[in-house]
Amino acid sequence: IDWSAALAAAQARFPDATLRMASWPSAPGKPASIRLKQPGEWHPNGRTTVLIDPATSGVARTSDAQTLTPGERALHAIYPLHAGSVGGWLYEGVTVLTGLALAALGGVGLWAFLKQRLGRTRRRPVRPAAPPRP
């Protein structure tokens, strides 16, 4: 594969995109792939792909992340949300508060369990009531 020609063809196909990774073909005769990130894509490596024909080093097929269906875009948004690569400081703040809330919930649960458990073992025996006076 003439990588300079392949990269130039991919960049010409998506001029606003930035190159993220290039992969050799998985088997002889299979296409190589170039992954690009277009403006507005959340995934750190981009979801726009260009498949390169190894015989000609030309574009065999493309997948434009900007034209995916809403369901496919939602599916591709799961990883960036999980990795925390989108949202900025506001998303990070919400993530920190959520983590602290879960830790506090676990702490309160442990405290309540131990309080109940220790309360059972320290109970004093109940004295019988005094008989009524005549």
What is the structure's pLDDT at 125?
A: 67
Q: Which of 45, 40, 1 is nearest to 19 (CA)?
A: 45
Domain span at residue 22 reads 3-86
In a domain, 125, yes or no: no
Same domain, 94 and 77: no
What is the structure's pLDDT at 52?
A: 92
Q: Is the separation of the CB atoms in 51 and 33 below 8 Å?
A: yes
Q: Which residues contact 130 (CB under 8 A, 6 or more apart)?
A: none
Q: Give the chain's mean pLDDT.
A: 87
Task: Residue 34: give its domain's CATH number.
Answer: 3.10.450
Same domain, 112 and 49: no
Same domain, 71 and 105: no
Quote the tokens at residue 107.
């702490």
**Model confidence at 11, in pLDDT bands (50, 70, 90)?**
very high
